[in-house]
Structure formats: C-alpha cells, structure tokens
C-alpha cells in the first residue's frame, strides 16, 4: 500500500532530525483515497494588537509549506488549521485601556473584531492563502472544558483555589519537545509561582474570572465562572478540526516551551496517545537591523507599518517584497530584517518582472520547474529554490520561472494598480499644475514617491493635454 511519501523531508523539532514525511492517513486502511488528508495546525495570533513582522514570519513560512503540500498531494487533500486566540488577559487589558467607557466584554468585542480584520488584511497583502479552517477560541469553550474534565478524571489535573491545573509529574515524558527536565524548567524561571500548586511546573488549564471579565460556567465541579488557560485552547481546537493525532504542528521557536510542550502534555494525557503531532516544525527568531525587536528599542515594526506607512526606510513596501525578503533565509535560521534586505528583494523582483514581461510569449508553462520543487522538498530550502529561479530566467525559461514563483506565492508580473485615494492625489496634482502651483504639485509627487508610486508626466498625443502616468516602484 502506498505510504504517501512524495519526497518531502522536514526537520522535526521533536527528534532533532530531518525525516521523510509520510502522512498518517496514508497508513489508515479504513480510509478511501478521496478521504485521505494531510493535516497541519499552526498557532495563530492573539488578537489584542496589530501583528508585527515577527508574527509575519511563521504565517509566510507555513503558507509556503501549505502550498507545497497542496502541490504534492492535491488541494482537496490538505487541511490547514490556524487558530485565532480571542480570549486572553492581554486582550482584556487592551480593551480596558482603549475603551474605558464600555463594559469590558463590549470593549473586548471591539478590540478582537478590529484586530482580526487588520490581521486578515495584512497577511493577505503578504500573499498568504487563507487556511482551510480558522477556529476561534471562544467557539470551542465546551471542547476545552470536556478535555479538562477528562484530565481531572485520569489524575493528570486537579482543582485548587478555583483553578484547574495540569500536574506535570503525572506525565513521565513531560519535557520531550524542549528537552528540559522539571528542574531546568524551574531554574529557567518560566513557570508561574503559586502556593496552591502541587509542583512549581504545574500550569493552568482553567482559572476563575472576576466580575465583568469574560467567563463561562467552570468545569470540574467548580462553582462560578472562569476562562481557559492559553495552552488548552490549542489542544481542544486542533483535536476538533484535525483529530487526536495529526501530521504537522508548527509555530515560532519561542513557542516550544512552554506552549507546545504543554499542548503535548494535555493532548496525549487526555487521549491516551503517544504523540499529538508526528512532526513539529519551528521557524527561527527575527531581529531588526541586528537587534532584538521591541518597543523599548524603538524598532518595533508591524506589518501595517511596512505596507502602508513610510516608517521603514522612508517608504512603504509591497507585500511581495516583504514576502521575498522573509523567504531568502531558511525558516529554521535566525533572520535579520533590514532595509538593505528589503531593497535587495525589491531589485530582484524588478529584474524578474522585466525579464518576465520581455518573455511573455513563453508564459504558457503551467507546472513549476522540477529542480525548484526538489529544493522545496528538502526541508523548504528556499535559498536553493530562489537560486534556481535566477538560473531559469538566465536560461530564458520564463514560464518555468513564473510557475515556480507562483508556487511559493509570488507573481513575477504584477498588476500596476493604485488606490482611489492615490488617484485622487494625482488628479489634485494635475489641477495644481494647471494653475502653475508647481511647489504644491511637487509636494504631492514626492509624497507618492515615498509610497512607491513614481509619476511620469507627458502629453496626450491627440489633444496635447497634460497627462500623468505612473509606475509602481518595488
């Protein structure tokens, strides 16, 4: 029986080795060929603030993997779940700060709706496909409570001071992902100290809510209302949409401990399984101009900043430039996000577009280049894959190059469109030129140039009237 191996090899954080990827469904004789799915879960945003460029990296990395899996197994045979965390103490704090006149729950609704909408807009502008399913934490509270009840019944969790906590010593394998002992975890000071814990490394599954905070009837016989801990959310949502065991779990390197470690503990102990996901993938950290990104450093950059303001390098950056700049470093390596890197990506895209437009007669190739695909199948080796793109353009194989770029979410020939607001500014400038207000016209020209729109003045060949065309500079 076919085992589903398509040549894809991925580096598994759990085993610290590069492994041949064989989807679980292909080993299930009870499933028909049409019912087999590759199942992947990636931790999504906590919607209390606009996503920053560190958040963008896993979205782009796992979008590329999603595209590669669809290419290898077929679009209808891949299920990609990326969650929205819409219940969290950070959301509560932001809501209380931004909407002090509203009741907290109403303020939370305002924050989560606006932030989720901005997240969707930002990641779409970066060329990412929507996931197959996007579960929200607040829609899965009952599933979380049911899992908590099971963990208490099996002796892996206990009630203390209105909280339900997972007892880490109850799982002999706890720490297998991060490869930390319980003593190391305590020494690392990444555990919350509380007198009611049986062990310092025990973590919260459910906690009480105070008046006005989001709350649901508590599980495990606790009176009153409460809300879930962060880790139980992903365990419940992944089980609901992908099953007790699935193929790939992804996220940033910072999530290995405690979040992913605790997900494994909850899920395996609740379901009685030896694993939650067979392959764990983690992208490396991101820094900005050689320094850790933080608001205190003054180098905190949101996706919105990059795409729609002139706060980075004095101009806004098209989504495909940001995407390519991110992909030029292997996903497992640390990435130094610099203006020079953006400029290099913009130059490459400019060159590819010129070559693509010059060779449009050969654009009828529908399949990516095999050497390019082989590079992707080797643990998403995008540096090799992009090097192959340059080779294809140099060889005049424009169609193969374009089809290959499209596989990773980049279009070599981009539509030259601008917004209604930009069109209105161009019209305003033309009116200023008509009355010979050249200084005012220059202000608008320079403003648009900063936003990547280069204006080109000329005359209509028939009427002789002044006209302005534009070019979007990458």
State the number of CA atoms in the 13 A half-sphere of 300 facing the CB. Answer: 9
Secondary structure (H, E, C), 252-319: EHHHHHHHHHHHHHHHHHHHCCCCCEEEEEEECCEEECCEECCCCCCCCCEHHHHHHCCCECCECCCH
pTM, full prediction: 0.87
3-state secondary structure of 79: strand
* 411 class by beta-carbon count within 10 Å (0-12 exposed, 13-18 middle, 19+ buried): middle
Annotated binding site: 43, 234, 259, 263, 295
**Residue pLDDT tens, the chain, 474 long:** 479 999 999 999 999 999 999 999 999 999 999 999 999 999 999 999 999 999 999 999 999 999 999 999 999 999 999 999 999 999 999 999 999 999 999 999 999 999 999 999 999 999 999 999 999 999 999 999 999 999 999 999 999 999 999 999 999 999 999 998 777 766 654 566 688 999 999 999 999 999 889 999 999 999 999 999 999 999 999 999 999 999 999 999 999 999 999 999 999 999 999 999 999 999 999 999 999 998 888 889 999 999 988 889 988 899 999 999 999 999 999 999 999 999 999 999 989 988 888 876 555 667 999 999 999 999 999 999 999 999 999 999 999 999 999 999 998 776 566 677 888 888 899 889 889 888 888 889 888 877 777 787 776 555 666 767 666 655
End-to-end CA distance of the chain: 49
Domains in the chain (CATH in brackets) are 1-283 (3.40.50.620), 287-408 (no CATH), 420-472 (no CATH)
Annotated binding site for ATP: 295
Annotated binding site for Zn(2+): 43, 234, 259, 263
C-alpha Rg value of the chain to the nearest Å: 25
**Residue 158 main-chain phi, psi, to 5 deg:** -150, 160
């Amino acid at each position: 029986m076919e085992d589903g191996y398509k040549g894809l090899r991925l580096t598994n954080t759990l085993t610290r080795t590069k492994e041949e990827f064989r989807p679980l469904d292909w080993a299930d004789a009870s499933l028909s060929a049409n019912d087999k799915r590759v199942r992947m879960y990636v931790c999504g945003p906590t919607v209390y603030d606009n996503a920053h460029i560190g958040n963008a990296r896993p979205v782009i990395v796992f979008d590329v993997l999603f595209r590669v899996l669809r290419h290898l197994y077929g679009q209808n045979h891949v299920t990609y779940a990326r969650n929205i965390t819409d219940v969290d103490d950070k959301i509560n704090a932001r809501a209380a700060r931004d909407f002090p006149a509203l009741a907290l729950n109403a303020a939370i609704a305002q924050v989560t709706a606006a932030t989720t909408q901005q997240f969707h807009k930002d990641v779409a502008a970066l060329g990412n496909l929507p996931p197959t399913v996007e579960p929200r934490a607040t829609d899965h509270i009952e599933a979380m409570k049911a899992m908590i009840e099971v963990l208490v019944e099996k002796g892996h969790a206990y009630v203390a001071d209105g909280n339900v906590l997972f007892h880490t010593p109850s799982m002999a394998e706890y720490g297998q992902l991060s490869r930390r002992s319980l003593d190391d975890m305590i020494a690392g000071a990444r555990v919350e100290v509380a007198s009611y814990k049986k062990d310092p490394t025990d973590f919260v599954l459910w906690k009480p809510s105070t008046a006005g905070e989001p709350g649901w009837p508590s599980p495990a016989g606790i009176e009153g209302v409460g809300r879930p801990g962060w880790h139980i959310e992903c365990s419940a949502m992944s089980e609901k949409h992908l099953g007790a065991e699935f193929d790939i779990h992804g996220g940033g390197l910072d999530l290995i401990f405690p979040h992913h470690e605790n997900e494994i503990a909850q899920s395996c102990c609740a379901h009685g399984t030896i694993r939650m996901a067979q392959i764990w993938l983690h992208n490396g950290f991101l820094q900005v101009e050689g320094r850790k990104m933080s608001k205190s450093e003054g180098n905190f950059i949101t996706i919105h900043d990059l795409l729609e303001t002139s706060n980075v390098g004095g101009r806004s950056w098209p989504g495909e430039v940001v995407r390519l700049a991110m992909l030029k470093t292997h996903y497992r390596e640390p990435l130094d996000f610099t203006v020079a890197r953006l400029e290099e990506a913009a130059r490459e895209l400019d060159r590819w577009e010129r070559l693509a437009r010059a060779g449009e007669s050969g654009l009828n190739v529908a399949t990516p280049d095999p050497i390019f695909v082989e590079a992707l199948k080797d643990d998403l080796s995008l540096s090799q894959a992009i090097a192959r793109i340059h080779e294809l353009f140099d060889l005049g194989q424009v169609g193969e190059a374009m089809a290959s770029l499209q596989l990773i979410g980049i279009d070599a020939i981009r539509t030259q469109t601008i917004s209604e607001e930009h069109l209105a500014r161009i019209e305003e400038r033309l009116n200023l030129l008509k009355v010979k207000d050249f200084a005012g016209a220059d202000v608008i020209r320079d403003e648009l140039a900063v936003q990547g729109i280069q204006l080109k003045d000329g005359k209509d060949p028939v009427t002789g009237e002044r006209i302005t065309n534009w070019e979007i500079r990458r």
